[in-house]
Structure 1
């Protein structure tokens, strides 16, 4: 069965990629349970639409998201000259679905979806690009291991719990340890009196295994023996039930223990999030190598993070701005791991290194490292030299803004996301910032932290206007006013981390 989730038809302009991205993001987040697939969909949608608008010059565009029993389907129909991205994956070629300036395009689409197909239009038919992602598997039931030597009671407990949980069984402690060695178990329900290895001995063995020491554990016993209960409590169990046990009692106890275990893990994650967030807070010198710098950020408190690291040389200053994506607690750990590596990478830089070389080294490491390969990030590498000279290289990061009295201009710089393609090469963009001009570097949360498309457009418009109107103010006051406006427009509750870095030459 094929179900249409959202469909949009338009005559595309420069605002179309951003508008459709936000419209589709709301539907994607509502209907696609897997966060990783959500991010891959959003990335492919942005990439394909940007290329159609900037390079293919499409005049009519239809985008739709649907699903069948096995997959999510993103279809993009356009009226540009047909060119099949399924036949070429070389990012050095010039073609419709490639952003030549940034080095992104077909390779990214192939990497970020499970299957890509293209049907060129004939006659009045439009070209069709279809991206496919296999449906995320339904969330598995939690698994309970029942350790009970009485076969009748074991079957009874299975009957009580099997509608809600996956059930594994063992007849004694030895068998239970064998099950734990090969199976993922969320809770262990064990009798105390059993042959070969009883429940108390089993718990002692589990306490010696680091990977299972925190496993939720409930004892069952036919004897209301105070001494045995004290021994069980000393072993760090979660509950103790006296037989006979009815279905309602057993089910409620199991759910309560599992819920409490999840609550503890969540609270621990939130505490660690706060400590990691504090450690990742950007710190910069106010001046270095004839440049003034001011940075401010807003942290949502969960998920990935924005990093800004620096190194000051005798005649230049190197900055590295990174946005690590993700919306769960694990993403914060990845941010910390990535931040540690980037810090080491910067400290190992020589005076001969340039921004593009730094991104190439970062990309290669992200691709090869098993931990960082799970991270999706964008990065902007910046080199500040005397005389207002600046060199910038980008890996999928929003373009910096040159703020002048007359206008705000996006700097033409781009590149593929780190770790996406082996041996990816980046390009430096060189420019000179004059006195009275200012540069703004930022993460996408600055312009996208709003509730809907209209609010996001208003946010972008007003923040951009504020960056220009505050140009004559001292840089610290300008930053304060812009971020104060950001807080007002987002009600101090942005839906994504946001960072703004302002820099200007001192001469």
Structure 2
């Protein structure tokens, strides 16, 4: 049994998003079908929700472990809580088919329906809840590039019963294909007329979707210098011709498994952001901020920064175009610019937004991307704000009636003619304000306005819930089926 992923998470609401993303990324890489991915996401989300409703705080923790058991993947969650002992007690007067749900909506009926062969055991004071998902026949897409027209079909034949193969004998044709098509692995010869694989790889790495593409180099050149220079191009393996079928299949399998482990490690950083180590932050005596999703886990293009200055708090909520690792890369320069500006001139949000827009227009930052931005300066309950192409805030009153804020302004850097000017709004006592990235709704695949989708979410939440319990439930209810989470999703609530 090979461990693919293992990490300990503080038992806090943002951990649900991070665990779901880790699960999605690894199961997708391993060709688990969408139905099982969704079922696994649902069961773990509900299980974790119940742990959170009973947790004593961030001192408690859970551990997620994914392991390879041949044709199946075991998903294991280890927790120290006493909340689901009915799973092992099997009280004689309680029937699975009764549909009775335990606290928070988690029940044996749900578990048994999705994964009837689940395991739940208590060992040394900790619960071990696990279940298995099946791996499908691999449909990994492999591109083979070799100008030897005799060898090329042979290499394809070696792998065609395991992978979907695309063959190219000319580097430019392969580059055109990789620029616009998904690829899981590239196998390339070393020498081509007028160009080497090292130069081809450099061009490939300029494509965002290929920056982490695994590459296997095959060459008849066995010289140590050649191998050394090839390795400097960040390839994943080097094979010397002639290559046997078994050797090639083993190397491809090893490289792809290594990619899963490497990607899982990248996407599972401990929860920490520039604005808070916790999902909550007091802004002043009147308002606090609760954050969920990408802005807390820091694994995509969504981020939030804040700075206290005098009696005000300056908040920037951004969504950089793209998803996952590629979007995260684009955030670094933008964060650096913002943090530098906040260090010297934190008071004027008009000046800040116009200066940032000019920097984007001049391509000093975000030269290869775009970003939406929401800028707020909060003093007590008074909020000065600018939306630069970002979804507009939604205000909820005590009766949970939706009040939309208006006055969206253009995306950053589109023109130097637009002068960004702030709007001032007062948040009434008992009201809360929802700030979100577009992924919060796009992942649900609904063709409704944000107001309509918020109303739909609110209809699913008990009227008796308020405060943190209401906010946490709002986030929980907004989860889509796991395989549909195509964009970084974030929700920030001021209340």
TM-score (norm 1): 0.51
Shift of 1:144: 3.7
In structure 2, the residue corresponding to 1:274 is in which secondary structure?
Answer: coil
1:179 corresponds in structure 2 to 196
Q: Distance in 1 between matches of 2:169 and 2:450?
A: 44
1:390 corresponds in structure 2 to 383
Contact (CA 8 Å) 1:293, 1:501: kept in 2 or not? no
Provide, for residues 400-431 of structure 1, a one-character-per-residue CA deviation record: whole Å limited to 9, x for no partner.
Answer: 12222463211112111123334642121112
Shift in alpha-carbon separation, 1:345–1:404, aligned structure 2, 3 A: same
Q: Does 1:316 align with 2:312?
A: yes
Shift of 1:380: 0.6
Shift of 1:503: 2.2
2:237 corresponds in structure 1 to 216
Higher alpha-carbon Rg: 1
Contact (CA 8 Å) 2:402, 2:455: kept in 1 or not? no
Shift in alpha-carbon separation, 1:418–1:344, aligned structure 2, 3 A: same
For 1:87-236, list aligned pairs within 5 A: 141-144=143-146, 156-157=150-151, 160=154, 164-166=167-169, 179-180=196-197, 182-184=199-201, 187-191=216-220, 199-206=222-229, 210=232, 212-214=233-235, 216-220=237-241
Q: Does 1:334 align with 2:330?
A: yes
For 1:479-498, list aligned pairs within 5 A: 479-487=471-479, 494-498=485-489
Shift in alpha-carbon separation, 1:312–1:159, aligned structure 2, 3 A: closer
Shift in alpha-carbon separation, 1:164–1:466, aligned structure 2, 3 A: closer
**Residue among 392, 406, 410 paired with 1:412:** 406
Shift of 1:307: 1.3
Provide, for residues 360-391 of structure 1, a one-character-per-residue CA deviation record: whole Å limited to 9, x for no partner.
Answer: 222222333466222232111011113x2211
Provide, for residues 325-357 of structure 1, a one-character-per-residue CA deviation record: whole Å limited to 9, x for no partner.
Answer: 323531232234433443333333333x12x32
Say what the alpha-carbon RMSD is for the aligned residues.
4.3
Shift of 1:498: 3.1
1:503 corresponds in structure 2 to 494
Could you say which structure has the greater relative contact order, defined with CA pairs below 8 angstroms and 6 or more residues apart?
2
Aligned residues: 314
Q: Does 1:444 align with 2:473?
A: no
Provide, for residues 183-241 of structure 1, a one-character-per-residue CA deviation record: whole Å limited to 9, x for no partner.
Answer: 4485443335xxxxxx223435426x73x253632113xxxxxxxxxxxxxxxxxxxx4
Contact (CA 8 Å) 1:311, 1:317: kept in 2 or not? yes
**Residue among 301, 307, 318 paired with 1:305:** 301
1:325 corresponds in structure 2 to 321
Shift in alpha-carbon separation, 1:422–1:326, aligned structure 2, 3 A: same
Contact (CA 8 Å) 2:374, 2:387: kept in 1 or not? yes
Q: Does 1:435 align with 2:426?
A: no
2:291 corresponds in structure 1 to 296
Contact (CA 8 Å) 2:382, 2:427: kept in 1 or not? yes
In structure 2, the residue corresponding to 1:323 is in which secondary structure?
Answer: strand
Segments ≥4 residues shifted beyond 6 Å: 172-178, 300-303, 454-458
Q: Distance in 2 between matches of 1:433 and 1:358?
A: 23
Contact (CA 8 Å) 1:415, 1:426: kept in 2 or not? yes
In structure 1, the residue corresponding to 2:411 is in which secondary structure?
Answer: coil
Shift in alpha-carbon separation, 1:350–1:183, aligned structure 2, 3 A: closer
Shift of 1:456: 8.8
In structure 1, the residue corresponding to 2:391 is in which secondary structure?
Answer: coil
1:343 corresponds in structure 2 to 339
Q: Distance in 2 between matches of 1:173 and 1:412?
A: 57
Shift in alpha-carbon separation, 1:258–1:323, aligned structure 2, 3 A: same
Provide, for residues 461-502 of structure 1, a one-character-per-residue CA deviation record: whole Å limited to 9, x for no partner.
Answer: 2334579957x944x333223223334x76898554333322
In structure 2, the residue corresponding to 1:426 is in which secondary structure?
Answer: coil
Shift in alpha-carbon separation, 1:161–1:426, aligned structure 2, 3 A: same
Shift in alpha-carbon separation, 1:159–1:453, aligned structure 2, 3 A: closer
